């Protein structure tokens, strides 16, 4: 179909020229050039329209995927934080390839004596299990794992005990995968891992759907709702308090709130502790004002700008700068300073890749957090920057910023270590549980009668509520 302007021009001028020729009237010699020029213009215009249509169809076709994870991410508005004026199936990434072998959890040196003792404890545990003495059995299993945390037989048998006696399929699968990390051809662990993998994946899918239902419920609450505004303000202070607390800051919640609101120092507390709070406040305001609503890819400059504010009050020289020395983080030895630029470029490429963006947002955000903290590109502030990046991704997908409670810092670091060993799923699951708890807090705070909400208290966050999923035969066949 031709545009109307071209069609009118063709009818008026083209037909007139034809009539004049038939009549033999003398006409301007340039009049015949108009139809001749018109045809190639239409031809070129048709090619351009065809190319644009092809590109649009490919782009829209790429968005309309059958993936369950794709439908979660698109079509949702961002989580709108308070303005600074008003408030002040990772299926491809289940097993990570670690470029630094010395970062593995399995590099714990086990002496011959400890392995012998661990195996003796394992045999006693198996005997106790057969005798029905489950409490003694679990203590012996735990003792064996503590002595030989990289022995595949110990890990596999403990997983079997958790699965069949404790009915904890999720945790059992984690131990099967750990056993395969240290011995990939371990027959028992391989069979057990394959058998339980379906149940674990189904558990994770159900959990993510439940989280998205709560996200959708929260998004239906108007932004000007008074209860929601109060909840956002309280969550803002809670987030600062817990995220600096994970790093060892000793300020309590009331002191944190006072510093953010009044900028008045708290007696008896160090300057660095004050500056950590002020830096995180500045970084969160920067993200809320610029990055959350921005359309486009995430760049290295964005990460550096976040870090510059995180560390700006504590160490202005190092803020927003990649480290130039080697650092050591517990059992993890991050890459050398000479590799930082290359690894960060790779990280940003992954961050903006189609594969990453099509993941469920919670998985995408958790993996972004882990990958950045694993590179450890800064001398200080890596954890805070990684958690802020994670929350930026979540807010862009409509979720509130996740609060990781300082009381759970040991679980947080334990799951990071497991990810270093090769299994990132426990860490992703941990972030998903924290996301759900944060959503529960918002929904409880905005409910008219403050009805009881599951997982409201910190103590109930990591109870084994959803460890077992029973699949009927017809569900397995129809999936």
Q: Which residues are annotated as a binding site for ATP?
A: 329-332, 380-387, 412-413, 420
Centre a 10 Å sphere on the Cβ of residue 307 and count the other Cβ atoms it contains.
27
Distance CA 308, CA 321 (A): 8
Long-range contacts of 466-473 (CB under 8 A, 24+ apart): 466/203, 466/206, 466/207, 467/167, 467/168, 467/169, 467/170, 467/171, 467/203, 468/167, 468/168, 468/169, 468/199, 469/169, 469/199, 469/202, 469/203, 469/206, 471/198, 471/199, 471/202
- Positive or negative, the Cα torsion across 201, 203, 207, 209? positive
Active-site residue 313, yes or no?
no
Distance CA 337, CA 326 (A): 6
Q: 187-219 and 425-446 are packed helices; what angle lies between their axes, rounded to 10 degrees?
A: 20
What does the DSSP 8-state code read for residue 329? B
Distance CA 256, CA 431 (A): 24
Q: H helices of 148-220, where? A: 152-164, 169-182, 187-219
Distance CA 383, CA 388 (A): 9
Q: Which residues participate in the annotated binding site?
A: 329-332, 380-387, 412-413, 420
**Catalytic-role residue among 186, 239, 360, 376:** 376
Catalytic residues: 376
């Amino acid at each position: 179909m031709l545009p109307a302007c071209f069609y009118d021009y063709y009818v008026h001028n083209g037909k007139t020229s034809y009539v004049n020729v038939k009549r033999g009237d003398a006409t301007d010699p340039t009049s015949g050039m108009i139809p001749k020029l018109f045809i190639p213009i239409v031809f070129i215009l048709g090619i351009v329209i065809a190319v644009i249509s092809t590109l649009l169809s490919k782009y829209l076709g790429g968005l309309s995927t059958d993936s369950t994870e794709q439908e979660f991410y698109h079509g949702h508005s961002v989580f709108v934080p308070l303005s600074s004026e008003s408030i002040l199936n990772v299926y491809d990434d289940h097993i990570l390839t670690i470029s630094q072998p010395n970062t593995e959890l399995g590099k714990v040196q086990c002496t011959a004596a400890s392995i012998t003792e661990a195996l003796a404890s394992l045999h006693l545990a198996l005997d106790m299990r057969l005798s029905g003495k489950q409490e003694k059995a679990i203590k012996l299993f735990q003792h064996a794992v503590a002595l030989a945390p990289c022995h595949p037989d110990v890990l596999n048998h403990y997983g079997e005990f958790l699965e069949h006696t404790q009915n904890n399929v999720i945790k059992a699968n984690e131990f099967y995968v750990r056993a395969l990390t240290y011995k990939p051809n371990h027959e028992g662990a391989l069979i057990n891992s394959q058998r339980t993998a379906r149940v674990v994946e189904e558990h994770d899918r159900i959990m993510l759907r439940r989280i998205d239902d709560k996200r959708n419920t929260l998004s239906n609450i108007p932004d000007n709702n008074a209860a929601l505004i109060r909840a956002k303000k309280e969550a803002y202070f809670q987030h600062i308090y817990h995220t600096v607390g994970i790093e060892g800051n000793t300020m309590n919640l009331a002191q944190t709130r006072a510093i953010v609101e009044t900028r008045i120092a708290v007696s008896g507390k160090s300057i660095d502790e004050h500056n950590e709070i002020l830096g995180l406040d500045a970084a969160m305001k920067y993200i809320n004002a610029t990055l959350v609503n921005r359309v486009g890819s995430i760049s290295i400059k964005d990460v550096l700008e976040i870090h510059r504010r995180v560390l700006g009050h504590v160490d202005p020289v190092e803020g927003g700068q990649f480290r130039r020395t080697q650092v050591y983080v517990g059992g993890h030895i991050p890459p050398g300073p000479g590799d930082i630029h290359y690894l960060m470029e790779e990280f940003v490429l992954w961050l903006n890749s189609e594969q990453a963006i099509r993941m469920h947002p919670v998985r995408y955000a958790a993996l972004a957090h882990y990958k950045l903290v694993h590179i450890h590109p800064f001398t200080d502030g890596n954890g805070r920057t990684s958690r802020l990046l994670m929350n930026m991704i979540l807010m862009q997908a409509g979720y509130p910023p996740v609060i990781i409670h300082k009381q759970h810092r040991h679980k947080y670091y334990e799951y990071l270590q497991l990810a270093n060993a090769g299994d990132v799923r426990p860490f992703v699951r941990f972030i998903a549980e924290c996301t759900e708890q944060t959503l529960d807090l918002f929904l409880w705070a905005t409910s008219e009668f403050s009805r009881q909400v599951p997982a409201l208290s910190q103590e109930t966050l990591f109870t084994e509520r959803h460890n077992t999923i029973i699949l009927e035969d017809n569900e397995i066949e129809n999936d």
